[in-house]
Amino acid sequence: MSNFFKSKFFIILAIVTVVILILMAVSTITTDRANPAGDAVGTVMSPVQRVFRSIGDATGNFFGRFRSNASYREENEQLSARVAQLEEETRELNALRNENERLRGLLSLGETYTEYEMVGARVIAKDPGAWYSAFKIDKGTTSGIRKNDVVMTSAGLVGYVYEVGTTWSNVVSVIDSRSAAGCVIERTGDTAVVEGSVELMNEGNCHLLYLSRDAGVAVGDFVETSGLGGIYPEGLLIGKIKTLSVDSQGLYYEAVVEPAVDFERISEVMVIKTEA
Amino acid sequence: MRHVWKTLVLLLALVIDSALGSYIGILDISPSFLLVTVIAMAMAGEFAEAGIYGLAAGVLWDLLWGRTFGFYSLLYLYAALGARAFLEMVYKNTPVITAGITFAASLLCEAVLCLVNFTIWGQGNFWYDLFRYIIPTAAYTAIVQMLLFFPITRLSRPKEERGTRL
């Protein structure tokens, strides 16, 4: 064992470990841009990730179609080839219509938030771990995106940009366990804090905390950003209250918020250039 | 040439994890192809090689997703070295043993992430997360390891060693 500690391998391992620990300490100092190495890797990887994402979409659609056809056959054994063809066309038209609606919705965001400049982007990768809800979009500094820019869909708030590369950005969503935002209940005007949590994140929900016991809120009330906290502008729809309870100390209400955005199926987003 | 292929496989695993992870997930549980690749490569190569590929995998992950650079680098470096050290003790590299080590490595990595998440962000309930995410993720990753063991091991071993048992 003592030989191991004197070996060249152990010395190199110790040096590498110390260097990484120093880099960890240095990287905690936040910067507006990704480090050059991270930017280079992200720039090279994003087209590949985009291709794989498309493959994943196509595969998912294929199996989804297979499942629906199988159940349909059970109910309608006399289904003719003509009907199947028409159904296929209808599905394609529906897909196009849905995409059209999504894109129209995104465009209408620009009309709603006229004071901000916006950029459309596609989601090309998602953080696969169970602990965080982050994803990568295909626009970066070349499109004018900066750290802390707000990301939305026509349905509501998605999150904010936490790292920017040349042609990509990483976005942390409102349901991520690292995320917290000041919010206001639209109907009553009561303020609170919306916070991500590991348990709720995987259900696509988040927590609402520090809501006064005097607040006259109810399940189904809409929750918007309050503009406090410095990242999100005021009035962006976060979601609606799903369940309401009193916290363990009995001081505040706490609630589960169902975001307006379906984070499982998110594909196109708008980035609001809040600093433009 | 072997190292070029291994690097490409590592990059492929990284891309599969980030682009296809949500499609192959079952009940919000996705396997880590990167960890599968790192452990299989560590078990099939030399000690130093295990460290280098573990470190490379972690650095790539840090560059793509890490908010604190170096965290995954250390995690994957020591996971690879730990796997290789275990092999020194058992002298046997079979799909079941490698899957077992992958299970243990995944369990440790996810548990560390959970604890860091809890410590830094004050998030999480360790026991709930252990049974809901950590153990299922480790099991799923180990199953994927059993499926991918032979192709990755074959690719990772030097040409002269292929076809022989460790």
- The pLDDT tens digits of the residues spanning B2-37 come to 778 888 888 888 878 777 776 777 777 888 888 888
Query: Quick check: B146 and B95 in contact, CB under 8 A?
Result: yes
| 220-249 of A, contacting B, C-beta below 8 A | none
* Cross-chain residue pair A128–B21, CB shorter than 8 Å: yes
Choose one of A62, A89, A112: the last residue of a domain: A112
Give contacts of B 97-116 with A, CB under 8 A. Answer: 110, 113-114
Q: Does B15 touch chain A (CB under 8 A)?
A: yes
Say yes or no: A98 and A128 in one domain.
no
Cα–Cα distance between A5 and A231 in angstroms, integer? 49
Q: pLDDT by residue (tens digit) across A54-103?
A: 666 666 565 555 555 555 566 666 666 777 677 777 877 887 787 777 77
Enumerate the residues of chain B whose CB falls inside 8 A of the CB of residue A197.
123-124
Give a yes or no: residue A25 inside a domain. yes
Domain count, chain A: 2
The answer to whether B49 contacts chain A (CB < 8 Å) is: no
A176 and A158 fall within a common domain: yes
Residue A44 domain-assigned?
yes
- The answer to whether B129 and B19 have CB atoms below 8 angstroms apart is no
What residues in B contact A169, CB-CB < 8 Å?
none
Indicate if A205 and A224 belong to the same structural domain.
yes
Contact B74 A48 (CB under 8 A): no
- Let me know if residue A2 belongs to a domain: no
Asked if residue B61 lies in contact with residue B74, where contact means CB atoms within 8 angstroms, the answer is no
Together in a domain, A87 and A131: no
What is the reported pLDDT for A31? Answer: 56
Judgement on whether residues A65 and A164 belong to the same structural domain of the protein: no
Identity (one letter) of the amino acid at A210? Y
> Which of A20, A41, A129 minimises the CB distance to B70?
A20
Task: Give chain B as a 3 state SS string.
Answer: CHHHHHHHHHHHHHHHHHHHCCCCCECCECCCHHHHHHHHHHHHCCHHHHHHHHHHHHHHHHHHCCCCCCHHHHHHHHHHHHHHHHHHHHCCCCHHHHHHHHHHHHHHHHHHHHHHHHHHHCCCCHHHHHHHHHHHHHHHHHHHHHHHHHHHHHHHCCHHHCCCCC
> What is the block-wise mean pLDDT of chain A (276 residues), using blocks of 10 residues?
69 85 72 62 68 64 57 61 74 78 70 76 80 83 89 88 88 86 88 87 86 86 86 88 87 90 84 75
A10: chain B residues, CB-CB within 8 Å: none
Residues A92 and A144 both lie in one domain: no
- Calculate the alpha carbon distances from B127 to A199, B15, B104, B111, B133 in Å: 12, 31, 17, 10, 10
User: Do A74 and A193 share a domain, yes or no?
Assistant: no
What is the reported pLDDT for A151? 92
Residue of B91, B86, B88 whose CA lies nearest to B102: B86
Q: Which domains does chain B have, with CATH numbers?
A: 2-159 (1.10.1760.20)
Domain membership of residue A192 as a residue range? 119-276
**Residues linked to residue A120 through DSSP beta bridges, in sequence order:** A270
Can you tell me the distance from the alpha carbon of A125 to that of B154, in angstroms, rounded to the nearest whole number? Answer: 29
Element at A112 (helix H, strand E): helix A81-112
Cβ atoms of A190 and B85 within 8 Å: the answer is: no
Using a pLDDT cut of 70, give the percent of chain B over it. 87
- Assess contact for A238 and A220: CB atoms under 8 A: no
Residue A144 sits in the same domain as residue A271: yes
Residues of chain A in contact with residue B70, where contact means CB-CB under 8 angstroms, are: 20-21, 23-24, 27
**Structure-token pair, residue A244:** 């309401």
pLDDT, residue A241, reads 92
Phi–psi pair at A139, nearest 5 degrees: -130, 145
| Structure tokens that stand for B75 in this block | 């995690």
Predicted local confidence at residue A223, as pLDDT: 92
CA distance A190 to chain B (A): 25
pLDDT value for B166: 45
SS3 A268: strand
**Is some CB atom of chain A closer than 8 A to the CB atom of B126?**
no
Pairing verdict, β A169-173 and A157-164: antiparallel
User: What whole-number distance in Å separates Cα of residue A222 and Cα of residue A193?
Assistant: 14
pLDDT tens digits, residue range B40-54? 888 887 888 888 888
A-chain CB neighbours of B74 within 8 Å are 17, 20-21, 24
Specify the CATH number for the domain of residue A165: 2.40.10.350
- How much of chain B exceeds pLDDT 90, in percent? 1
Q: Does residue A6 belong to any structural domain of this protein?
A: no
Does residue A256 sit in the same domain as residue A140?
yes
Give the closest-approach CA distance of A30 to chain B in angstroms: 9
Q: By the 8 A CB rule, do A219 and A245 touch?
A: no
Q: Is A11 on the interface with B (CB under 8 A)?
A: no
Which tops the pLDDT comparison, B38 or A53? Answer: B38
Among candidates B15, B73, B113 on the partner chain, residue whose Cβ is nearest the Cβ of A45 = B15
Q: Which residues in chain A touch residue B114, judged by CB atoms under 8 angstroms apart?
A: 131, 198
Contact A264 B22 (CB under 8 A): yes
At A242 the pLDDT is: 92
Length of chain B: 166
- Residue at A197 is within a domain: yes
Structure tokens that stand for A124 in this block: 């090309």
Q: Of how many residues is chain A composed?
A: 276
Say whether both A146 and A266 belong to one domain.
Answer: yes
Which has the closest alpha carbon to A166: A258, A48, A23, A34? A34
B128 pLDDT higher than 90: no
What residue type is A152 in one-letter code? M
Task: List the structure tokens of A56.
Answer: 């994943």
Q: What is the DSSP letter of A212?
A: E
Q: Is the pLDDT of residue B71 over 90?
A: no
Would you call A61 an interface residue with chain B, using a CB distance cutoff of 8 Å? no
pLDDT at B125 over 50: yes
